[in-house]
């Protein structure tokens, strides 16, 4: 049986992300997991790395570190711009904020199906709250947790996997959208 083009695309993304899994395991291990990353198969966890002391400056060998203000601002800008494009029903613009490898494996039509089928509440969101931004400068990957309120009731959360490109930070993937609380 030959897999459908959509399944084949998802398999290609999963293979590409296999290279990023050790970094992801380190990044996810640094914060309390709140959601699983979509398309990333579960693997045994990596051994914990010794933490550096406060007097040591973080180096690339230290692995993931907290995002500095400029990194976090760049990531937030990308996610906010993509969310605004969703709200304006401009999926072509929203798609432009996906990473090059994502776009090479998922067509615009496939992207629209993914968003409409799994991330519908995000389309209607107007205010995002960001937290727990971690970056691995060596791999140019970052994770950031995002929360938003839908219709004044449910608080949703997801974790974005971001990739730094020549055009700035781009969305490589996101965890499943989950209800994580209730609004006021």
HEC profile for the chain?
CCCCHHHHHHHHHHHHHHCCHHHHHHHHHCCCCCCCECCCCCCCCCCCCCCCCCCCCCCHHHCCEECCHHHHHHHHHHHHHHHHHHHCCCHHHHHCCECHHHHHHCCHHHHHHHHHHHCHHHHCCCCEEEEEEEEECCCCEEEEEEEEEECCCEEEEEEEEEEEECCEEEEEEEECCEEEEECC
CATH architecture of the domain 5-39+63-182 equals Roll (3.10)
Which pLDDT band, with edges at 50, 70 and 90, does 184 fall under? low
Residue 103 has pLDDT above 80, yes or no: yes
Half-sphere exposure of 72 (CA within 13 A, CB side): 14
Judged by average pLDDT, the poorest of 13-17, 82-86, 128-132, 167-171 is: 13-17
Judged by average pLDDT, the poorest of 67-76, 92-101, 113-122 is: 113-122
Judged by average pLDDT, the poorest of 53-57, 108-112, 142-146 is: 53-57
Residue 31, both tokens = 């914060």
Residue 82 has pLDDT above 50, yes or no: yes
Answer with the residue of higher pLDDT: 82 or 32: 82
Judged by average pLDDT, the poorest of 41-50, 77-86, 129-138, 155-164 is: 41-50
Q: Strand 178-182 to strand 154-165: parallel, antiparallel, or no bridges (unpaired)?
A: antiparallel
Portion of the chain with pLDDT greater than 70, in percent: 63
pLDDT tens digit sequence for 113-164: 999 888 888 877 667 899 999 999 889 999 999 998 776 677 889 999 999 9
Distance, in Å, from the CA atom of 161 to the CA atom of 125, rounded to the nearest integer, reads 19
Residue 47 has pLDDT above 70, yes or no: no
Q: Is there a contact between 150 and 125 (Cβ–Cβ < 8 Å)? A: yes
Q: Is there a contact between 146 and 128 (Cβ–Cβ < 8 Å)? A: yes
Residues 170-175: what's their mean pLDDT? Answer: 95
Task: Give Cα 33 to chain centroid, integer Å.
Answer: 13
Residue 176 has pLDDT above 60, yes or no: yes
Residue-range domain boundaries for the chain: 5-39+63-182
Residue with tokens 């973080």: 58
Task: Give Cα 183 to chain centroid, integer Å.
Answer: 23
Q: Is the pTM of this model over 0.85?
A: no
179 phi-psi bin (left φ>0, alpha ψ -120 to 50, beta other): beta
């Amino acid at each position: 049986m030959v897999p459908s083009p959509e399944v084949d695309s998802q398999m290609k993304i999963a293979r590409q992300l296999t290279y990023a899994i050790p970094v992801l395991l380190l990044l996810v291990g640094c914060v309390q997991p709140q959601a699983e990353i979509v398309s990333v198969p579960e693997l045994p966890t990596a051994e914990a790395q010794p933490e550096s002391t406060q007097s040591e400056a973080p180096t690339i060998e230290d692995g993931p570190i907290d995002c500095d203000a400029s990194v976090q601002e760049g990531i937030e800008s990308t996610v906010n711009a993509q969310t605004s494009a969703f709200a304006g029903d401009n999926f072509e613009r929203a798609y432009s904020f996906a990473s090059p490898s994502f776009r090479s494996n998922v067509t615009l039509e496939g992207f629209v199906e993914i968003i409409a089928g799994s991330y519908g509440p995000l389309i209607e969101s107007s205010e995002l709250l960001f937290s727990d931004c971690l970056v691995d400068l060596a791999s140019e990957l970052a994770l950031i947790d995002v929360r938003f309120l839908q219709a004044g009731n449910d608080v949703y959360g997801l974790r974005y996997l971001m990739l730094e490109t020549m055009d700035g930070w781009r969305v490589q993937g996101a965890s499943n959208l989950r209800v994580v609380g209730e609004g006021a």
